[in-house]
């Protein structure tokens, strides 16, 4: 799966978990997801589950770096690293 497709799928997923009162048409790749208020900490858990289930990411050994889940770009970078390894 190429990065663009991964991005579209991820943004589609983020749309399902974003705060309902957050009026945003475009999600910029570099937008801080929690800092901007788009999602809350509970939604971060849903992103973790999404990555585990969709890309088989296993966070158990290296733990979770919140910085890696900061924006669409950092999440896509994480997916790329996981696929490469």
Partner 1 sequence: MNCSALNEAYRSIAQFHENERLIARVQSWKIIGWLTPNRRRHVLFIGAFFAGIAGVLNRYAPWREYRHAGTWLVPAVAFPVLLAIVYLLYLMALHFKRLPKVVRVRPQICCHLFFWALLLVIWSAPDSSGFGIAVISLIALSFPYLIWRVGYMLLSGQRGKAAGTGFKDHLFYIWPVWDGTNTPPGKGHDNLARAEAQTAEAYARSFLGGIKLLLLVLVWKVVMQVIGAVVYGDPRISLTPLLSGHNLGIPRLKSIISGDAAASLMITWVSLYLELVWEALSIASKGHVWIGILRLFGFNVFRNTYKPLLAETILEFWNRYYYYFKELMVEFFFLPAYLKYFRSQPALRIITAVFAAAFVGNMYYHLIQHKNPLIAGDFVALWQVLGARLIYCFLLAAGIACSMLRQQKQRSSSSSAALPRGGIYRLRSIAAVWTFFAIINFWNIAANITIPERGRLFFSLFGF
Which spans of this chain sit near partner 1 (rule: CB under 8 A)? 17, 20-21, 40-42, 45-46, 48-49, 52, 59-68
Q: How far is the CB of 16 from partner 1 (least distance, A)?
A: 8
Closest CA to 13 of 58, 59, 48: 48
Closest to partner 1 by CB, 9 vs 68, is: 68
For residue 24, report the phi and psi dihedrals to the nearest 5 degrees: -140, 120
Closest to partner 1 by CB, 42 vs 84, is: 42
Closest to partner 1 by CB, 12 vs 67, is: 67
**How many whole angstroms separate alpha carbon 70 and alpha carbon 34?**
7
Q: How far is the CB of 1 from partner 1 (least distance, A)?
A: 23
54 DSSP 8-state letter: H
**What b/e string do you get for 43-57 counting C-beta neighbours within 10 Å, with b at 16 or more?**
bbeebeebbeeebeb
Q: How far is the CB of 22 from partner 1 (least distance, A)?
A: 10
């Amino acid at each position: 799966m190429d990065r663009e497709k991964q991005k579209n799928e991820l943004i589609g997923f983020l749309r399902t978990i974003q705060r309902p009162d957050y009026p945003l048409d475009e999600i910029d790749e570099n937008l801080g997801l929690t800092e901007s208020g788009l999602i809350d900490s509970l939604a971060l858990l849903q992103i973790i589950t999404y990555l585990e289930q969709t890309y088989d990411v296993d966070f158990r050994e290296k733990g979770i770096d919140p910085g890696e889940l900061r924006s669409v770009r950092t999440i896509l970078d994480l997916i790329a690293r996981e696929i490469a390894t």
